[in-house]
Structures are given as C-alpha cells and as structure tokens.
Amino acid sequence: MKVDVDPSLCEAHGVCMSILPEVFDLDDDEVLQIREGDVPGDEEALAERAVASCPKGALRLSR
C-alpha cells in the first residue's frame, strides 16, 4: 500500500502526521513529505485512518 498527496489540496494541518509520524512529516516550509515506498503491513490500518482523517481530502491510498 502506498500513500499519495495532492499538493494542491494539502494545507499542512498535520492530522496525518499526528496519527502516523513514521510515514508523514512536514518539512521546514510546511510541505507534507511522505516516506517513500510501501507502508509496512503493521502500519496499514493507521495509514487508512490518517487518509480518512485528512480535513482537505488530499491523501489517497493505492495498492
């Protein structure tokens, strides 16, 4: 499973980062960074929660 962000929608609220900081991070310019590669299996449920919690709907999951 991979997570993608639509930078035109993301407003860097950081909800995803608070749920799963191992995958999501805000850089110094408040731009969302996502760890490259697949989300580990033991973090998939948290990744789904983070995507569903995004207030702007800027995150998507793909398999």
- Alpha carbons 26 and 10: distance in angstroms, whole number: 11
15: pLDDT strictly greater than 90? yes
Report the share of the chain in percent with pLDDT over 70: 100
Return the amino acid letter for 32.
L
What digits encode the pLDDT tens for the residues 23-37? 999 999 999 999 988
pLDDT bracket for residue 45 (50, 70, 90): very high
pTM across the whole model = 0.90
Please count the helices (runs of H) and the strands (runs of E) in the chain: 2, 4
Which domains, and CATH codes, for the chain? 2-62 (3.30.70.20)
Position of tokens 């490259």? 36
Tell me what the pLDDT averaged over the chain comes to: 95
63: pLDDT strictly greater than 90? no
Helix (H, G, I), strand (E, B) or coil at 21: coil
